[in-house]
Amino acid sequence: MSAGVQNAGSSAVGSSDTEAAVAFVAHSTDQTVALGRRLGELLEPGDVLVLTGDLGAGKTQLTKGIAAGMGVADDVCSPTFTIGMVYEGARMPLYHYDLYRLDDSSQLDDTGIFDVLGDDGPCVIEWGEQFADELGDERLDVVLSRLDDESVAGEEPARRVAFYPHGVRPEQIASRMAV
Ligand X SMILES: Nc1ncnc2c1ncn2[C@@H]1O[C@H](COP(=O)(O)OP(=O)(O)OP(=O)(O)O)[C@@H](O)[C@H]1O
Residues 6+ apart with CB under 8 A from 104: none
Least separation in angstroms between residue 54's CB and Mg ion is 11
CB of 38 to ligand X, least distance (A): 14
Which of ligand X, Mg ion, none does residue 69 bind (CB under 5 to 8 Å by kind)?
A: none
Question: Is residue 29 close enough to count as binding Mg ion by CB under 5 A?
Answer: no
Indicate which of Mg ion, ligand X, none lies near residue 109 (CB less than 5 to 8 Å, by partner kind): none
Report what 179 binds from ligand X, Mg ion, none; CB cut-off 5-8 Å by kind. Answer: none
Q: Closer CB to ligand X, residue 126 or residue 141?
A: 126
User: Please, are residues 96 and 76 in contact by the beta-carbon 8 Å criterion?
Assistant: yes
Q: Which is nearer to ligand X, 135 or 144 (CB)?
A: 144
Give the nearer residue to ligand X in terms of CB position, either 45 or 82.
82
Q: Interface residues for Mg ion in 89-118 (CB under 5 A)?
A: none
CA angle 60, 63, 68 (to 5 degrees): 130
**Of 85, 69, 8, residue with least CA distance to 77:** 85
Applying CB under 6 A, which residues contact ligand X?
A: 26, 28-29, 31-32, 53, 55-61, 78, 126, 156, 158-159
Residue 139 contact partner, candidates ligand X, Mg ion, none, CB within 5 to 8 A by sort of partner:
none
| Helix extents (H) in the chain | 29-42, 59-69, 108-111, 113-116, 132-135, 168-178
Least spacing, CB of residue 51 vs Mg ion, in Å: 8
Kindly state whether residue 60 participates in binding Mg ion, applying the rule CB under 5 A: yes
Residue 161 CB burial class (10 angstroms; 0-12, 13-18, ≥19): buried
C-alpha distances out from residue 142 to 21, 82, 83, Å: 10, 22, 19
Which amino acid is located at 17 in the chain?
D
